[in-house]
């Protein structure tokens, strides 16, 4: 022990200074980055017998340099664990070992990844001979082990616990007590128990999985009873020193071994490539000779087969709640994708129905937006849906089922929605650009990018097709009217909405754009209808932007657009109905019952998730630009255990930015009180401006009142029953800053909660809020990091006092009711600006 510590101390001192020697153990206050360790290809830690190394290394398969902190099996160069798999860092970004654990920060010192909070201070970081990266305390007790946080690889000696999943892109390995299940986008395509080589030894539930040179084992919690095993063909054990199981992003779960300088794959699950859901891309057909092709009537798109006829588009799946009824079913038609075929899910799900005819089978599919096609078994009349995502199809000889299916894919005929008179007019063009890229890794990969632009000359008042103009007023680029094809919401007639709203009788809110009414559709579903007013000349553009954006964005924390309506100059949006209304009403209204702390946490996290999704989860980065309680809507489901749902609305006013575009916005919008300082200066608006507004909202959630308010002075120390109560202007963010400095967080909580808030959670929220409010946008965390901090996955950063001092004087300025320059704003901004409190 003494020797070990002495050695650890020694090597720990050597490494940071030279940056060249491998070490077996590292002490805190250690920093690494790729540039520091460039001589040793980023490696700085080695296991005692040199089998494994830990390194900050580049993934050679990627075009851009992207660096990961990984544990690598040295001889075979196999990555067995990665800390920041989904968030690569640059060559100069750092890994830090402190007494609190390991942290990876990016070039702006933002936390990308970190170990969870530990029970006692770290004394060493070690990599052992089985490949486990371990943080030990002074008593040599393990505080954290990489084996407990596996990514996609299981090595000899490691246990994969039930409940911990492997992820690799769209694929997932799910360990249940009784089986190991492979899933694609949440849909099962293989079970370990189905494999010919799998044997069940015990009926007890399994507790963990492990792998060794004989095979894959599921053990009971006693650690010795084998529940399930998949045995490998005997491996030449001489010189065998490394066995691992890995889930690839190609959907294959493999067991490989390394021995005698050779890496050999010993087992693949599922054994048959053709049943892997994305093996041939969307609608690609995996033939008996294991080649991929597109069914007739389709040709190669980007990783998928698309209808040759450009007017046929494939609908996107809905998300559970925005289902549509039978009234829309006639807008779909079905294209045959083959006979004597099968689809991965038919062995794992129940059919929609049995003993029905094909037209009824298709009708059932048309009535459900999560159904994207059907597999119809002619002999039994069974009808299976293709759900949520379309995978590859395969020859029925690979299927388990006895049945041959005929496949049909749901399509929409774009042209049938268009006013026939517009089709005869000029100006309809269709262009297809084919691009062939050759990549060097592993031979030739052909990527055919087909970009179909449908150019339409807009006709005033024509129905169906909605046109979105991309680019701002200042943009010099040609005005391209891009037909929004997929996800186009349902178009309603004005009369339908008038009936549904009982002639706009029940107003339930007024957003930035106009009044919101409650409506009941003929199928008895309740929706919200937003009547857009005050739009002026910009109206049509904003309206179309909002439709196109909302219609194509699906996230549990974002309000869904169900439809729209155009009548003359009037515009309506049909939106998901949220029965509790907006957060400002629920929280600031003295009449309504107090929001409990747990609900506030859910609201804070839900809102953060919504923004994180807008900022990085969608194809285009979307800046909300108007984050405030009015735009956070709540719903309590009476049937689902009173479940509280939190959704953001009004992201239609945000701008659409392509990833290449700068993060600058030229048009200013927003609501005073939530506007980041950069709105007032000439610096650019970015997603970090939303982070600022979110910080403001977070403080309001903690306190349950507006950040800027007038309240009765309550100075307890000088309180005298005779003194007349005095009105006091209060700028809460400043109070929060002061209480943070004195660590008196609980005093900031809404007094109406009467102490029903956990003090460490209050501290967390306030600190996160202050991090979000920092003056310099780059110091504010990303919304994804905010989510991580709120959920406790990431340590909460320490806000810099120098970056918050502006609040002291900003608060003063608010008291003087400064007017904000609205240069660059259009008319709507004035309208929204008006909204603030005295
Ligand atoms: C690490 O650095 C901090 C601050 O510089 C110091 O307080 C601490 O003692 C150092 N820890 C070790 C183990 O050197
Ligand atoms: C390194 O140690 C591990 C665990 O003790 C052992 O399985 C492996 O064979 C050793 N490798 C070498 C090259 O000595
Ligand atoms: C310290 O840890 C190492 C490996 O992690 C172990 O082999 C050794 O026995 C431990 N020593 C003590 C005193 O617990
Ligand atoms: C692998 O583990 C099983 C179950 O513990 C055991 O029976 C078998 O001997 C082990 N094989 C090797 C090569 O260690
Ligand atoms: C097993 O591996 C050893 C060392 O790699 C080799 O010499 C031997 O020929 C192998 N035996 C068989 C049966 O492949
Ligand atoms: C298919 O079945 C439905 C419902 O059972 C029936 O109404 C319809 O007439 C059938 N169609 C054909 C072509 O047999
Ligand atoms: C649509 O299909 C999904 C998935 O099978 C199902 O959960 C949902 O209830 C269906 N919706 C309707 C309206 O039938
Ligand atoms: C389906 O079955 C019917 C009668 O069972 C038969 O007439 C028809 O030819 C079959 N169609 C296909 C495509 O096999
Ligand atoms: C698509 O719709 C248009 C207009 O209704 C129609 O003329 C055309 O034949 C349809 N195409 C197909 C393949 O059904
Ligand atoms: C619904 O959306 C959520 C969030 O984007 C996604 O995780 C989930 O898979 C979607 N569900 C379906 C049925 O598409």
Q: Clarify whether residues 689 and 783 are in a common domain.
A: yes
Q: Clarify whether residues 649 and 762 are in a common domain.
A: yes
Q: How far apart are CA 551 and CA 484, in angstroms?
A: 10
In a domain, 453, yes or no: no
Q: What residue numbers bound the domain in which 710 lies?
A: 581-716+723-832
**What is the 8-class DSSP label of residue 63?**
S
Amino acid 236: pLDDT: 67
Amino acid 712: pLDDT: 56
Query: Which of 417, 440, 463 is the endpoint of a domain?
Result: 417
In a domain, 367, yes or no: yes
Overall domain count for the chain: 5
CA 29 to ligand 1 center in whole angstroms: 6
Nearest CA to ligand 10 atom 10: 319
Torsion of Cα atoms, 58 then 59 then 61 then 64, to 10°? -50
Query: Which of 242, 271, 300 is the endpoint of a domain?
Result: 271
In a domain, 838, yes or no: no
In a domain, 452, yes or no: no
* CATH number of the domain enclosing 526: 3.30.200.20
CA 658 vs. chain centroid, Å, equals: 18
Whether 266 lines ligand 4, by a CB cut-off of 6 Å, is: no
Query: Which of the ligands is closest to the CA of residue 351?
Result: 7
Q: Clarify whether residues 50 and 180 are in a common domain.
A: no
Q: How many CA atoms lie within 13 A of 364 on its CB side?
A: 20
In a domain, 71, yes or no: yes
Q: Clarify whether residues 267 and 287 are in a common domain.
A: no
Q: Clarify whether residues 796 and 649 are in a common domain.
A: yes
- Residue 5 contacts residue 27 (beta carbons within 8 Å): no
Q: How far apart are CA 395 and CA 475, in angstroms?
A: 50
Q: Clarify whether residues 194 and 329 are in a common domain.
A: no
Query: Which of the ligands is closest to the CA of residue 260?
Result: 5
Whether 266 lines ligand 2, by a CB cut-off of 6 Å, is: no
- If 0-12 CB within 10 Å is exposed, 13-18 middle and 19+ buried, where does residue 536 land? exposed
* CATH number of the domain enclosing 241: 2.90.10.10
Residues (pLDDT < 50) of the chain are: 1-20, 39, 325-327, 416-487, 536-537, 654-669, 716-723, 814-838
**Helix, coil or strand: residue 128:** coil
Q: pTM higher than 0.85 for the full model?
A: no
**Block residue for tokens 């700068």:** 662
Q: How far apart are CA 823 and CA 427, in angstroms?
A: 37
**Block residue for tokens 């003063």:** 812
Q: Clarify whether residues 181 and 136 are in a common domain.
A: no
Between strands 171-175 and 526-532, the pairing is unpaired
Amino acid 531: pLDDT: 82
Q: List Cβ neighbours of 738 (8 Å cut-off, separation of 6 or more).
A: none
Q: Clarify whether residues 523 and 658 are in a common domain.
A: no
Q: How far apart are CA 97 and CA 32, in angstroms?
A: 9
DSSP tally for the chain: helices H, then strands E: 13, 54
Nearest CA to ligand 8 atom 7: 378
- If 0-12 CB within 10 Å is exposed, 13-18 middle and 19+ buried, where does residue 408 land? buried
Q: Clarify whether residues 684 and 628 are in a common domain.
A: yes
Amino acid 675: pLDDT: 75
Q: For residue 98, which atom of ligand 1 is closest to its CA?
A: 1
Q: Clarify whether residues 376 and 253 are in a common domain.
A: no
Select from 28, 31, 97, 120 the residue to mutate for testing ligand 1; criterion: most ligand atoms less than 8 Å from CB. 28
Q: How far apart are CA 363 and CA 333, in angstroms?
A: 10
Q: Clarify whether residues 255 and 288 are in a common domain.
A: no
C-alpha distances out from residue 727 to 434, 587, 834, Å: 69, 22, 23
**Helix, coil or strand: residue 467:** strand
In a domain, 427, yes or no: no
In a domain, 795, yes or no: yes
In a domain, 531, yes or no: yes
Q: How far apart are CA 16 and CA 1, in angstroms?
A: 23
**Mind spelling out the 3-state secondary structure of 564-627?**
EEEECCEEEEEEECCCCEEHHHHHHCCCCCCCCHHHHHHHHHHHHHHHHHHHHHCCCEEECCCC
Nearest to 609 by CA among 732, 797, 793: 793
Which residues are known to be catalytic?
626
Q: Clarify whether residues 587 and 695 are in a common domain.
A: yes
Amino acid 15: pLDDT: 33
Amino acid 447: pLDDT: 24
Nearest CA to ligand 6 atom 14: 357
Query: Which of 271, 305, 321 is the endpoint of a domain?
Result: 271
């Amino acid at each position: 022990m003494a020797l070990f510590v002495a050695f650890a101390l020694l090597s720990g001192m050597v490494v940071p200074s030279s940056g060249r020697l491998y070490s077996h153990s590292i002490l805190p206050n250690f920093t690494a980055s790729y540039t520091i360790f460039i001589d040793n290809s980023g490696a700085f830690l080695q296991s005692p017998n040199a089998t494994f190394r830990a390194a900050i290394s580049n993934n050679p398969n990627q075009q851009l340099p992207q660096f990961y902190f990984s544990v690598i099996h040295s001889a075979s160069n196999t990555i067995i664990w990665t800390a920041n798999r989904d968030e690569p860092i640059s060559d100069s970004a750092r890994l830090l070992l402190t007494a609190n654990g390991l942290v990876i920060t990016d070039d702006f010192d933002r936390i990308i990844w970190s170990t969870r909070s530990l029970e006692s201070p770290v004394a060493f970081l070690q990599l052992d001979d089985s490949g486990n990266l371990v943080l030990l305390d002074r008593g040599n007790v393990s505080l954290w082990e990489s084996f407990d946080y596996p990514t996609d690889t299981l090595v000899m000696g490691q246990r994969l616990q039930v409940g911990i999943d492997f992820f690799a892109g769209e694929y997932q390995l799910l360990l249940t007590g009784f089986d190991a299940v492979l899933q694609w986008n949440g849909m099962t395509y293989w079970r370990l128990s189905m494999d010919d080589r799998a044997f069940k030894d015990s009926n007890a539930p399994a507790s963990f999985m492990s792998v060794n040179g004989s095979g894959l084992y599921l053990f009971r919690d006693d650690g010795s009873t084998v529940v399930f095993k998949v045995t490998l063909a005997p491996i030449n054990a001489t010189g065998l020193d490394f066995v691992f199981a890995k889930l690839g992003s190609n959907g294959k779960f493999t067991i490989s071994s390394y021995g005698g300088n050779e890496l050999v794959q010993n087992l693949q699950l599922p054994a048959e490539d053709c049943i892997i859901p994305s093996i041939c891309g969307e609608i690609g057909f995996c033939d008996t000779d294991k080649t991929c092709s597109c069914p007739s009537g389709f040709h190669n798109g980007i990783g998928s087969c698309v209808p040759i006829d450009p007017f046929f588009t494939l609908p996107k799946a809905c998300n559970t709640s925005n289902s549509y009824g039978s009234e829309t079913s006639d807008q779909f038609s079905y294209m045959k994708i083959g006979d004597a075929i099968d689809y991965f899910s038919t062995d794992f799900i129940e059919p929609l129905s049995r003993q029905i005819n094909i037209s009824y089978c298709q009708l059932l599919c048309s009535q459900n937006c999560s159904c994207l096609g059907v597999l119809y078994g002619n002999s039994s009349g069974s009808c299976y849906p293709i759900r949520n995502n379309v995978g590859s199809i395969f020859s029925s000889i690979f299927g388990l089922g006895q049945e041959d299916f005929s496949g049909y894919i749901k399509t929409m005929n774009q042209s049938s929605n268009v006013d026939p008179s517009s089709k005869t007019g000029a100006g309809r063009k269709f262009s297809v650009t084919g691009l062939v890229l050759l990549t060097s890794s592993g031979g030739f990969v052909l990527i055919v990018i087909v970009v179909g632009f449908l150019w339409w000359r807009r006709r005033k008042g024509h129905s169906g097709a909605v046109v979105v103009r991309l680019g701002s007023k200042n943009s010099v680029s040609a005005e391209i009217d891009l037909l929004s094809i997929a996800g186009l919401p349902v178009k309603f007639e004005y009369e339908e909405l008038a009936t549904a709203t009982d002639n706009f009788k029940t107003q339930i809110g007024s957003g930035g754009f106009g009044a919101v009414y409650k409506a009941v559709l003929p199928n008895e579903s309740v929706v919200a209808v937003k009547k857009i007013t005050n739009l002026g000349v910009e109206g049509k553009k904003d309206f179309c932007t909002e439709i196109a954006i909302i219609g194509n964005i699906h996230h549990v924390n974002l309000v869904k657009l169900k439809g729209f309506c155009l009548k003359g100059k009037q515009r309506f949006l049909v939106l998901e109905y949220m029965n509790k209304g907006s957060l400002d009403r629920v929280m600031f209204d003295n009449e309504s019952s107090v929001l409990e702390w747990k609900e506030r946490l859910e609201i804070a996290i839900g809102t953060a998730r919504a923004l994180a999704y807008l900022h990085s989860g969608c194809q285009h980065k979307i800046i909300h630009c108007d984050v405030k309680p009015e735009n956070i809507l709540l719903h309590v489901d009476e049937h689902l255990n009173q479940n509280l749902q939190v959704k953001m609305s009004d992201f239609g006013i945000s701008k659409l930015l392509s990833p290449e575009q700068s993060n600058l916005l030229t048009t200013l919008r927003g609501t005073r009180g939530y506007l980041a300082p950069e709105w007032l200066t000439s610096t650019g608006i970015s997603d970090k401006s939303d982070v600022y507004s979110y910080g403001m909202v977070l403080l309001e959630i903690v306190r349950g009142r507006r950040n800027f308010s007038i309240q009765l002075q309550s100075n307890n120390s000088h309180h005298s029953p005779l003194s007349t109560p005095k009105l006091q202007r209060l700028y809460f963010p400043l109070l929060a800053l002061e209480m943070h400095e004195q660590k008196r967080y609980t005093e900031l909580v809404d007094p109406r909660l009467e102490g029903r808030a956990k003090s460490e959670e209050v501290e967390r929220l306030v600190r996160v809020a202050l991090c979000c409010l920092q003056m310099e946008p780059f110091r504010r965390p990303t919304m994804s990091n905010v989510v991580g901090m709120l959920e406790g996955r990431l340590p909460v950063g320490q806000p810099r006092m120098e970056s918050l001092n502006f609040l002291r004087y900003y608060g003063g300025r608010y008291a003087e009711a400064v007017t904000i320059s609205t240069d660059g704003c259009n008319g709507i901004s004035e309208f929204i600006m008006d909204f603030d409190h005295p």
